């Protein structure tokens, strides 16, 4: 079926943004919005980003992001560049876009799927905000979102292709995510929960995105599955930056000493004797880059009830620790289908968060045995520490969290190349280039799973009657090495 399209002219904005919604889209949207949890804002003394745009003037602009390193091969930029080359003033205008359908609405505005008029192969999302219908506080949220979007350059965060100020509308052109959000995806899974491997994949990507935001001094403050969108390639894109808080950061290099019994590295090495077993251990001093806004401070109570950190609920002031708390709630929800402090009402949820009671897990035996579950529970317990000073991530940020055993084996620099999980209701378009050999999950396979693979491989070799017989003291890697040597 052909999609209904509408070509907006800069002069007929009111018509363009109200006439192209189809009944189907409305149905999809209302189903999603009834389940999604809304964010709250209770501002006491907000320090907001200063606005650079003039909201009354009509203007069009394209941020100069395409010069940035990781955008060089982005086909969407190529399409935008082609469209603007033909434009008389070299800028992108609303008339260059055709709106295909409404994909969702939020507190601030509506989001449309759109394409460039003359370059049909690239999809974009256009967030349209009617400034006339917003209060001054919501207007400041729009400005915050626009400014933060324009400063981002990361694969797990949106790219702002254009920021159009036309009449009383603010339009932000960003990447379109056809796979919806993680909240809707979770609801499509058996028992509303994801397997541990899939949780590790999404958690690792969110962690890297938060690390990047924190390095820019941005505290996200609205982490929840509804704000984690899934791109066409199955990787994530954090969205919704209107509740962010920007602080000054002072990146520093910190030295950390860690004990490594089997290290062969020569750098900064010192030998110590273990008092308990008398064995020699090596102490390594590693220099680490820490760029977390650990001194950021805001008193506003913003976020979504079930994801609010205790210091947000009490209004005692907060920093980047609220994101690490929400990160713990997120992992809990992805694993169990519910949030850890959820009560019968919003008030009782807030009471549970503010109480001294710790996190409790309700998992059945089968789930308890799932490889990685124990590590996941340990990580959650360390993140959901009510005192932010003792919470994992609050002292040195993502660096400490990445080191937790739940993420053991994840090769962080290769995170973009990991194969996304295959889940019910998720249609992932595989890239032509070969993805990294291991899925994030496969890297930290349990000894039980490795034994299982090993057994299967032995059976297979027996059936094939291979001349490369496997002895029980050989492992798979020895086998592969032998085979390679013989081939040579």
Ligand X SMILES: Nc1ncnc2c1ncn2[C@@H]1O[C@H](COP(=O)(O)OP(=O)(O)OP(=O)(O)O)[C@@H](O)[C@H]1O
Contact 283, 257 (CB under 8 A): yes
| C-alpha span between 477 and 474 (Å, rounded) | 8
Task: Classify residue 343 by burial, with Cβ atoms within 10 Å: 0-12, 13-18, 19+.
Answer: middle
Backbone angles phi, psi at 242, to 5 degrees: -70, -20
Q: Which residue is nearest to ligand X (CB)?
A: 106
Question: Is residue 176 near ligand X by the rule CB under 6 A?
Answer: yes
Binding-site member from 147, 181, 205, 323 for ligand X (CB under 6 A):
181
| C-alpha span between 412 and 401 (Å, rounded) | 12
| C-alpha span between 375 and 293 (Å, rounded) | 27
Binding-site member from 109, 328, 393, 420 for ligand X (CB under 6 A):
109
Question: Is residue 233 near ligand X by the rule CB under 6 A?
Answer: no
| C-alpha span between 77 and 433 (Å, rounded) | 20
Question: Is residue 174 near ligand X by the rule CB under 6 A?
Answer: yes
Residue 107 CB, shortest distance to ligand X, in Å, is 3
Helices (H), 192-268: 196-215
**Total count of residues recorded for the chain:** 488
Question: Is residue 377 near ligand X by the rule CB under 6 A?
Answer: no
Question: Is residue 292 near ligand X by the rule CB under 6 A?
Answer: no
Q: CA separation (Å) from 336 to 380, 410, 416, 473?
A: 12, 23, 26, 39
Site string for ligand X, 200-229 (x = CB under 6 A): -----------------------------x
Question: Is residue 106 near ligand X by the rule CB under 6 A?
Answer: yes
Question: Is residue 76 near ligand X by the rule CB under 6 A?
Answer: no
Question: Is residue 323 near ligand X by the rule CB under 6 A?
Answer: no
Query: By CB under 6 A, which span of 10-18, 51-59, 149-157, 172-180 interacts with ligand X?
Result: 172-180
Residue 30 CB, shortest distance to ligand X, in Å, is 11
Q: DSSP letter at 429?
A: -
Catalytic residue among 197, 222, 240, 323: 222
Query: By CB under 6 A, which span of 92-100, 101-109, 248-256, 366-374 interacts with ligand X?
Result: 101-109
Which of 148, 105, 152, 113 has the alpha carbon at shortest distance from 129? 105
The H or E element that residue 59 is part of is strand 59-61
Partnered with residue 97 across adjacent β-strands are 116
Residue 39 CB, shortest distance to ligand X, in Å, is 6
Binding-site member from 143, 239, 339, 444 for ligand X (CB under 6 A):
239
Question: Is residue 170 near ligand X by the rule CB under 6 A?
Answer: no
Residue 121 CB, shortest distance to ligand X, in Å, is 17
Q: CA separation (Å) from 290 to 226, 247, 252, 412, 415?
A: 29, 15, 5, 16, 20
Backbone angles phi, psi at 101, to 5 degrees: -165, 165
- The alpha carbon dihedral of 212, 217, 221, 227 has a sign of negative
Residue 471 CB, shortest distance to ligand X, in Å, is 54
Binding-site member from 108, 148, 238, 380 for ligand X (CB under 6 A):
108
Based on its alpha-carbon atoms, the radius of gyration of the chain, rounded to whole angstroms, reads 25
Binding-site member from 83, 125, 301, 329 for ligand X (CB under 6 A):
125
Q: Where does 274-402 show beta strands of DSSP type E?
A: 280-290, 301-303
| C-alpha span between 87 and 337 (Å, rounded) | 49
Query: By CB under 6 A, which span of 62-70, 176-184, 185-193, 425-433 interacts with ligand X?
Result: 176-184
Residue 35 CB, shortest distance to ligand X, in Å, is 10
Binding-site member from 8, 104, 293, 328 for ligand X (CB under 6 A):
104
89 included as an active-site residue: no
Question: Is residue 100 near ligand X by the rule CB under 6 A?
Answer: no
Residue 249 CB, shortest distance to ligand X, in Å, is 25
Q: Considering only residues 25 through 54, tell me which ones interact with ligand X, judged by CB under 6 A.
A: 32, 39
The H or E element that residue 118 is part of is none
Residue 242 CB, shortest distance to ligand X, in Å, is 5
Residues of this chain that interact with ligand X (CB under 6 A) are 32, 39, 103-109, 111, 125, 127, 174-177, 181, 229, 239-240, 242
What residues are annotated to the active site? 222
């Amino acid at each position: 079926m052909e999609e209904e399209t509408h070509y907006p002219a800069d002069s007929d904005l009111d018509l363009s943004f109200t006439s192209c919604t189809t009944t189907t889209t409305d149905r999809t949207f209302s189903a999603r919005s009834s389940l999604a949890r809304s964010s709250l804002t209770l501002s006491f003394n907000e320090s907001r980003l200063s606005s650079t745009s003039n909201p009354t003037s009509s203007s069009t602009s394209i941020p100069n992001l395409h010069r940035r390193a990781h955008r060089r091969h982005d086909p969407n930029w190529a399409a935008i560049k082609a469209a603007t080359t033909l434009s008389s003033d070299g800028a992108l205008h609303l008339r260059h876009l055709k709106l295909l359908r409404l994909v969702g609405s939020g507190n601030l505005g509506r989001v449309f799927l759109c394409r460039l008029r003359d370059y049909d192969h690239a999809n974009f999302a256009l967030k349209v905000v009617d400034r006339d219908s917003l209060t001054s506080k919501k207007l400041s949220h729009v400005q915050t979102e626009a400014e933060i979007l324009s400063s981002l350059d990361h694969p797990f965060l949106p790219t702002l292709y254009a920021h159009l100020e036309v009449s009383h509308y603010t339009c932000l052109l960003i990447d379109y995510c056809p796979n919806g959000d993680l909240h809707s995806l979770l609801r499509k899974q058996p028992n509303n929960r994801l397997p541990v491997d899939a949780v590790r994949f999404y958690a690792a990507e969110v962690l890297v995105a938060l690390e990047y935001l924190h390095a820019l001094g941005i505290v996200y403050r609205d982490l929840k599955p509804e704000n984690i969108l899934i791109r066409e390639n199955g990787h994530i894109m954090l969205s919704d930056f209107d509740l962010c808080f920007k602080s000054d950061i002072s990146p520093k290099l910190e030295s950390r000493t860690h004990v490594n019994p089997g290290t062969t590295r020569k750098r900064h090495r010192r030998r110590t004797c273990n008092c308990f077993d008398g064995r020699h251990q090596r102490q390594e001093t590693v220099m680490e880059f820490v760029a977390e806004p650990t001194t950021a401070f805001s008193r506003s109570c913003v976020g979504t009830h079930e994801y609010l950190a205790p210091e947000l609920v009490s209004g005692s002031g907060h920093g980047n620790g609220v994101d690490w708390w929400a990160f713990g709630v997120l992992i809990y929800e992805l694993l169990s289908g519910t949030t850890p402090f959820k009560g019968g009402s919003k008030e009782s949820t807030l009471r549970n968060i503010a109480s001294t009671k710790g996190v409790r897990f309700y998992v059945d035996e089968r789930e308890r045995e799932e490889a990685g579950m124990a590590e996941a529970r340990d990580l959650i317990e360390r993140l959901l520490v009510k005192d932010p000073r003792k919470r994992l991530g609050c002292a040195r940020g993502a660096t400490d969290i990445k080191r937790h055993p739940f993420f053991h084996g994840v090769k962080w620099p290769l995170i973009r190349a990991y194969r996304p999980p295959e889940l019910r209701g998720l249609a992932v378009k595989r890239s032509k280039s070969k993805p990294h050999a291991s899925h994030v999950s496969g890297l930290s396979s349990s000894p039980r799973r490795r034994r299982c693979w090993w057994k299967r491989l032995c059976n297979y070799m027996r059936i094939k009657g291979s001349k490369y017989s496997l002895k029980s003291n050989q492992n798979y890697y020895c086998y592969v090495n032998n085979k390679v040597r013989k081939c040579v």
